[in-house]
């Protein structure tokens, strides 16, 4: 550690010396410019040529000194990396990520994998969570298997429409009508009345449902859709997303990866929107192509007249010419096209 402190002090002294030399060179150029302004008009052209050579010489000296400083900084960074070993186990053993993995296994119905993973990761997998998902998959399996059993689904969701359809399909019209009278009154509001009236017409065709206008209600795909809706409602009741976040993230990453043997295109490097299907688009996120920072309310995206968009902080740095303390009022060039604009020309973009 003492060695790092000494190296840091040397680096600071090196930077101070370079700063003083740079300021001295700038002062010399300013003095030379003042002398040129005081010369006669006939001699001024010669003095300007001489001044240009002085500027080029000073710029070359400063650049060489900067290269030396950057080399020293790079070496110091390597010394720091050697002195402080990076513990990667902290990242690989993240309890939050491990918990999401175990919940993902439960959501997928792979209870043995969830139990084994929780044991290896030393996680406390709540028994009630596993019991809830076990109940969900047992209910979904009963809905998908012929003959379709909605008893468990109705006990959990108290949904009457599916039960009535199942009773009618089995020819138990009297029981179905009694069930409708008992449960449909809960939904007898203006919002649901039209649908209830439509459903009650099914009793007219009870003897030949397959040839009735209600035949599509008994399609096998309806049961599959019902099972998916039940799973979504079940997860929503537990405060979970309809799809596993881990599965969605992995799927989005797989879709965004380039195809094998296809190089990255330079034309797409500026784009921050990853092409994904609609079911994987949850909210818009803008990342500034200049600073690589994610936009926020304090640093919103701003569009220049040319149509290119960067974050406000990057726009202000462009207007200042990347000079700390400078006033952000001048014209500047767009970093991606030849167009010129000012800070006042930019408009905030809302996604």
In a domain, residue 260? The reply is: no
In a domain, residue 255? The reply is: no
Number of separate domains in the chain: 3
**What average pLDDT does the structure give for the chain?**
76
**Is 211 found in the same domain as 130?**
yes
Q: How confident is the model at residue 182 (pLDDT cuts 50, 70, 90)?
A: low
**Is 61 found in the same domain as 153?**
no
b/e per residue, 20-47, with b = 16+ CB within 10 A?
eeeeebeeebeebeeebeeeeeeeeeeb
In a domain, residue 285? The reply is: no
Q: What residues are paired with 341 via a beta bridge?
A: 332
Q: Which of 211, 245, 279 is a domain's end point?
A: 245
Span of 37-46, 159-168, 289-298 with lowest mean pLDDT: 159-168
DSSP state of 264: P
pTM exceeds 0.85, yes or no: no
Backbone angles phi, psi at 328, to 5 degrees: -85, 75
* Residue 65: domain span: 2-83
In tens, the pLDDT along 254-266 reads 877 766 555 555 4
**Is 60 found in the same domain as 183?**
no
pLDDT of amino acid 163: 43
pLDDT of amino acid 126: 77
**Measuring CA to CA, which residue among 292, 335, 288 is closest to residue 312?**
288
Helix 41-83 crosses helix 2-38 at what angle (to 10 degrees)?
Answer: 170
Q: Is 194 exposed, middle or buried (0-12, 13-18, 19+ CB in 10 A)?
A: exposed
**Is 174 found in the same domain as 116?**
yes
**Is 305 found in the same domain as 170?**
no
Q: How confident is the model at residue 93 (pLDDT cuts 50, 70, 90)?
A: low
pLDDT of amino acid 245: 81
In tens, the pLDDT along 114-157 reads 888 888 878 887 788 888 888 888 888 887 776 667 667 766 65
**Is 214 found in the same domain as 128?**
yes
Q: Are 146 and 131 in contact (CB under 8 A)?
A: no
**Is 75 found in the same domain as 177?**
no
pLDDT of amino acid 301: 92
CA–CA separation, 72 and 16 (whole Å): 14
**Is 143 found in the same domain as 235?**
yes
In tens, the pLDDT along 196-230 reads 777 777 777 766 766 677 676 666 677 778 788 87
In a domain, residue 336? The reply is: yes
**Is 115 found in the same domain as 238?**
yes
In a domain, residue 199? The reply is: yes
In a domain, residue 62? The reply is: yes
**Is 67 found in the same domain as 101?**
no
């Amino acid at each position: 550690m003492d060695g790092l402190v000494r190296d840091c002090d040397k680096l600071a002294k090196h930077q101070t010396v370079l700063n003083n030399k740079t300021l001295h060179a700038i002062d010399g150029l300013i003095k030379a410019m003042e002398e040129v302004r005081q010369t006669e008009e006939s001699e001024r052209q010669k003095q300007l040529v001489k001044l240009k050579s002085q500027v080029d010489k000073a710029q070359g000296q400063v650049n060489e000194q900067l290269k030396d400083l950057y080399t020293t900084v790079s070496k110091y960074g390597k010394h720091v990396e050697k002195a402080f070993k990076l513990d990667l186990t902290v990242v690989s053993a993240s309890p939050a990520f491990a918990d999401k993995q175990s919940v993902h296994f439960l959501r997928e119905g792979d209870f043995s994998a969830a139990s084994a993973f929780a044991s290896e990761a030393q996680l406390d997998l709540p028994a009630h969570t596993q019991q809830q998902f076990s109940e969900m998959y047992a209910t979904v399996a009963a809905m998908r298997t012929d003959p379709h059993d909605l008893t468990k689904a109705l006990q959990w969701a108290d949904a009457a429409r599916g039960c009535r359809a199942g009773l009618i399909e089995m020819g138990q019209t009297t029981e179905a009508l009694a069930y409708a009278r008992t449960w449909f009154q809960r939904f007898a509001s203006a919002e649901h009345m039209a649908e209830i009236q439509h459903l009650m017409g099914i009793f007219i065709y009870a003897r030949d449902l397959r040839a009735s206008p209600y035949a599509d209600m008994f399609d096998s795909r309806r049961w599959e859709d019902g099972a998916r809706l039940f799973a979504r409602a079940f997860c929503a009741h537990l405060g979970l997303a309809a799809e596993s976040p881990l599965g969605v993230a992995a799927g989005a990453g797989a879709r965004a990866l380039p195809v094998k043997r296809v190089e990255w295109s330079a034309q797409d490097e500026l784009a921050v929107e990853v092409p994904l299907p609609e079911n994987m688009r949850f909210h818009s996120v803008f990342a500034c192509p200049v600073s690589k920072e994610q936009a926020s309310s304090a640093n919103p995206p701003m569009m220049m007249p040319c149509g290119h968009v960067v974050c406000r902080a990057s726009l202000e740095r462009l207007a200042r010419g990347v000079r700390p303390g400078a006033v952000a009022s001048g014209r500047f060039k767009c970093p991606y096209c030849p167009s010129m604009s000012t800070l006042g020309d930019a408009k905030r973009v809302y996604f």
